[in-house]
Amino acid sequence: MTIPSAYIHIPFCQQICHYCDFTKFFYNEKLADEYLLALEKEIHTYFPDEKAKVKTIFVGGGTPTAVNHSQLNQLLQMIAEHFDISACDEYTFEANPGDLDVTKVKMLKEAGVNRISLGVQVFDDQMLEKIGRVHKVEDVYTNIDRLLTAGLSNVSIDLMYGLPGQSVADFEKTIDEALQFGLPHYSSYSLQIEPKTIFYQRYKKGKLIKPPEEEEAEMYGLLQSKLSEQGILQYEISNFSVPGYESKHNLTYWNNEFYFGIGAGAHGYLPGKRTINIRPLPAYVKQAITDGKPVLHEEPITLKEQMEEEMFLGLRKTEGVSLQRFADKYNREVAEVFGRAVPHLTERSLLEVEEGRIKLTEHGRLLGNEVFQEFLIDE
């Protein structure tokens, strides 16, 4: 069985954002050195003899570019030693504006990285400070200029809406400024208040108030219309691109395909099982150095769960779920497995069926979680 993708987690950040619940730690040079040794041991356990051929590699975090030059070089060499970069269609690094000096950009380009995902969030210095970001708007301009000058033109930027104190007009300004760059890909997410974050603690104390739901919906509508006007088309609930520049790695997730998950707290999806790595950094390092297998636990994935996830994930895409692909993959018809859900949701104008595909309607996109719950199969 071919595994099409690999996710590699680098958990270090120069600053912990107030909303982030990913596995992350303040950057420390000694800890990062130890982590890279452990990471290499884990990768070698997966691929001891020959380079892995995968279609996509995504190096995320944390902030992979938070490490120093020597460590970034070590990481890039480690990946090149264990993966066939020449066979990789898409090789993405996440980065924060301000992290990418000229040397780091050159290193990424020379190592074969061909896509950058830049965590911009908003074009407003005061709002950036409020959400715990350390970069400034001018850093975005500087870093994008460096990337384009180096020939790294496949750049995606992340934007956030529904932030405390953010108005519809504020987000419209962010959209307009983001579009000035003429980039091929944009991702945008509403603020989710997750446990164990600074924002969660403030929310519990009544000190954090999000914009009303109707304003969030208006922000989302503005995002859709303004990007569409520029030929940047929505292909997933939160993702937009010029045709041909969709994120191939993220489509691995939404197509419910297999991927390696490598690094502290990383999740992998392999035939018949889901893997979850140890999250605390010292424990991850110790176990990875010991035997190269820092897995916290493995969960078997039943046929029922695979079919549920096929719908949850596939319906996030604008093109929806192919009825034929589902039947070929599971030897079952969608109507046979989810007979009640489809007509019920279609009657409520949350789903539509056309040209052999089931898709969310515009209204359905706003109520995605409600739709997805309908595809839980009774035992």
Q: Are 287 and 294 in contact (CB under 8 A)?
A: yes
In this structure, the answer to whether residues 157 and 223 fall within a common structural domain is: yes
Name the band, by pLDDT with cuts 50, 70 and 90, for residue 211.
Answer: confident
In this structure, the answer to whether residues 46 and 170 fall within a common structural domain is: yes
Q: What mean pLDDT do residues 12-21 have?
A: 63
Residues β-bridged to residue 32: none
pLDDT attached to residue 132: 81
In this structure, the answer to whether residues 107 and 228 fall within a common structural domain is: yes
In this structure, the answer to whether residues 321 and 180 fall within a common structural domain is: no
pLDDT attached to residue 208: 66
The CATH number assigned to the domain holding 321 equals: 1.10.10.920
What is this structure's pTM?
Answer: 0.94
In this structure, the answer to whether residues 213 and 327 fall within a common structural domain is: no
CA gap 336, 307 in Å, rounded: 12
pLDDT attached to residue 151: 97
Q: In the listed set 254, 277, 295, which residue is the last one of a domain according to the structure?
A: 254
Q: How much of the chain, in percent, has pLDDT values that exceed 70?
A: 93
CA gap 24, 31 in Å, rounded: 12
pLDDT attached to residue 133: 82
Which range, 23-27, 129-133, 200-204, is most confident?
129-133
Encoding tokens for residue 310? 């096929």
CA gap 219, 168 in Å, rounded: 6
- The domain tally of the chain equals 2
In this structure, the answer to whether residues 364 and 244 fall within a common structural domain is: no
- Using the CB atoms, write b or e for 339-360: b if 16+ within 10 Å: eebbeebeeeebbebeeebbbb
Average pLDDT for the chain: 92
Within a domain: 136: yes
Q: In the listed set 217, 236, 254, which residue is the last one of a domain according to the structure?
A: 254
Q: What mean pLDDT do residues 216-236 have?
A: 96
In this structure, the answer to whether residues 14 and 71 fall within a common structural domain is: yes
In angstroms, what is the C-alpha Rg of the chain?
21
pLDDT attached to residue 101: 96
Task: For residue range 59-83, list pLDDT tens digits in order.
Answer: 998 899 999 999 999 999 999 999 9
The CATH number assigned to the domain holding 215 equals: 3.20.20.70
In this structure, the answer to whether residues 220 and 345 fall within a common structural domain is: no
Q: What mean pLDDT do residues 93-108 have?
A: 95
Within a domain: 265: no
Q: Which candidate, 261, 150, 167, places its Cα nearest to that of 211?
A: 167
Is the pLDDT at 17 greater than 90, yes or no? no
Give residue 361's domain range: 303-373
pLDDT attached to residue 15: 65
In this structure, the answer to whether residues 250 and 307 fall within a common structural domain is: no
